[in-house]
Amino acid sequence: MTAPRHNLHDIDFRAIARKLTLVENDLKGSEEMLRSLQFPKNVPVIGITGPPGAGKSTLVNDIISAFTGKGSKVAVLAIDPTSPFNFGSLLGDRIRMAGHFNHPDVFIRSLATRGSLGGLSAKTIEMTDVLRASGFDYVLVETVGVGQSEIEIAGLADITMVVLVPEGGDEIQHIKSGLMEIADAFIVNKADREGADLFANNLKKMVQQKEVEIPVFKTIASQGNGITEVMDFIISHPEQKNDRRSMLLAEKAYKLIQQKRMIGVDKVALLVSIKSAIADDSFNLYGFVDQTLDKLSQ
């Protein structure tokens, strides 16, 4: 995957924002717009995931700076955690990436997970495709890194980078096997902390057991250290092989079909119904689910 160089042209950020809002809120015309998307060039989607506090947003900041320094246009979709109580989004990444908001070659959008178990919803796929079709050279997707989102990112990203910190050393043996399968690279961030070298070495021993060795990078994102090596990997990463691309597209299709099947299921309305139903001492969750499904099928 080579670094794109092209004649820079103005991208209409307002038009992109309107399209994203159209898709995010299922407004009239969104389906037609999605079906009409065209992808004149291959735009790599780079997924960056890992546990909260690993410094993903700081790392993304450094990657954005490196890309723009090479003359590339970058779009960022920051997946924010949604509260299970108020269904809102923290939108913290907009604050952390504030330094790039006025850059003419950078577009940043936050997206609430909207209750998706793994943090990635079908909306993530649709909005990523809108960005891919909008003239950018790279699309970065930063996930919340909880639940199954690390695994799900493989169904979205051409390159999946998992960010970890030395403090996770005691848990290195418990890294999900699925995470080992989907990671194209591991990044040990905050590598100036105690135990970073040992943690990185243990991680390297684990990945060496794979058929294809997965690189392990050490970075100090807050100081910009180690970013050059990460960028070299991203730019030189080979195109997706057919089997991986098929898996990626199948995962996308599954999410989109799942979303369409779930049309009519309003999580907030479901909460209201549950509150009313549990007032009855004979409440049974499975009976409640059956009744809800019956109503949706009518």
Where residue 296 falls among pLDDT bands split at 50, 70, 90?
A: confident
**pTM, 2 dp:** 0.79
Closest CA to 144 of 89, 226, 200, 103: 89
Instruction: Tell which CATH classification among 3.40.50.1820, 3.40.50.10800, 2.60.130.10, 3.40.50.300 matches the domain 13-261.
Output: 3.40.50.300
Going from N- to C-terminal start, the domains of the chain cover: 13-261, 267-297
Length of the chain: 298
The predicted structure's pLDDT at residue 74: 96
SS3 per-residue string spanning the chain: CCCCCCCCCCCCHHHHHHHHHHHHCCCCCHHHHHHCCCCCCCCCEEEEECCCCCCHHHHHHHHHHHHHHCCCCEEEEEEECECCCCCCECCHHHHHCHHHCCCCCEEEEEEECCCCCCCCCHHHHHHHHHHHCCCCCEEEEECCCCCCHHHHHHHCCCEEEEEECHHHHHHHHHCCHHHHHHCCEEEECCCCCCCHHHHHHHHHHHHCCCCCCCCEEECEHHHCECHHHHHHHHHHCCCCCHHHHHHHHHHHHHHHHHHHHCCCCCHHHHHHHHHHHCCCCCCCHHHHHHHHHHHHHC
Among 30-34, 176-180, 283-287, the least confident range: 176-180
Question: What is the overall mean pLDDT for the chain?
Answer: 81
Indicate if the pLDDT at residue 90 is higher than 70: no
| Greater pLDDT, 243 or 294 | 294
Q: Residues with Cβ < 8 Å from 12, sequence gap 6 or more?
A: none
pLDDT confidence band for 81 (50 / 70 / 90): low
| pLDDT band at residue 85 under the 50/70/90 scheme | very low
Given a cut of 90, whether residue 42 has pLDDT beyond it is: no
Maximum distance among all alpha carbons in the chain?
A: 68
Query: Considering only 56-60, 129-133, 148-152, 280-284, which range has the smallest mean pLDDT?
Result: 148-152
Q: Which two tokens stand for residue 270?
A: 């479901």
- Give Cα 227 to chain centroid, integer Å: 20
Q: Which of 96, 103, 32 is nearest to 59 (CA)?
A: 96
Under 8 Å between Cβ of 136 and 75:
yes
Q: How does pLDDT run across 107-165, given as a tens digit for each residue?
A: 999 887 655 544 456 788 889 999 999 999 999 999 866 545 555 676 788 898 989 88
pLDDT digits (tens, 9 = 90+) for 224-241: 999 999 999 999 987 665
